Structure 1
Amino acid sequence: MPVMHFTVRWPDNQELCCYSPSLVIRDYLAPGTSYPLPDFMARTREALHIASDRVRAKYGFACSAAMDQLAHIEATAERFHAWPAARVEVLAFDDHP
C-alpha cells in the first residue's frame, strides 16, 4: 500500500510532517492551499479514517499509525481552537518511500 507524507503549517507557523498509509489524502487536501482550521480538521479526519479502513480491508486490521497521526493533529489543532481566523496551510506531499 503506498504511503503518503504531507507537510502542514499551523497558524503559529510551526510545520508538521504527517503520515497517511494511503494516497487518499490527495483527494482531501491540496499543496499550496490554506484551509480554515475546522475545514482542515474535517478533511483530515475523513481522509485518515478512509486510509485506515483501506488498511483494514487489505490486511484485516486498522492502521494504528494513521489513528496516532490523527490524534497528534487533533491535539495540535486544539491549541488554536480560540483563534477565530486560524488556518492550516498544506505545504507539500511526499509519496516517495
Structure 2
Amino acid sequence: MYEEKHKHLKELEKVLVSRIENVSHDLNSEHSADSAEQVTERENEDVLRHLKEESRLELKQVRSALKRIESGEYGSCTQCGETISSARLDALPYATLCIRCAS
C-alpha cells in the first residue's frame, strides 16, 4: 500500500546519509593559515554543524517512518490513531501526527 512512500523514504535516507558524510568531511578539513580566513571558516563550520544536526534529526525521522511502514503502523497518527491524510504524508512523509493532533 505504501510502496511509493517506502521508495521515497529510502531515497531520502540515502540523500541524508550522503549529506551527513559530506558535512563531516568538510568539518574535518584543515584550516587556512590566514587568520582572516579562519574567522570565515569558523562561521562556515557553525552553519555546517547546524546542517549536520538537522540532517541527523531528519534521518532519524525517516528511519522511524520506514520502521512504521514495515510494522504496518505507517499512516496512523501516533496520538489519536486516526489516519494521517495522504496530502500530509505527501508533504511530510515521516509525519507521525495527523493535522488535528499536530495543531
The TM tier, using the shorter chain, reads: 0.3 to 0.5
TM-score under structure 2 length normalisation:
0.36
**Greater relative contact order, per chain length (Cα 8 Å cut-off, separation 6+):** 1
TM-score under structure 1 length normalisation:
0.38
Bigger Cα Rg: 2
More strand by share: 1
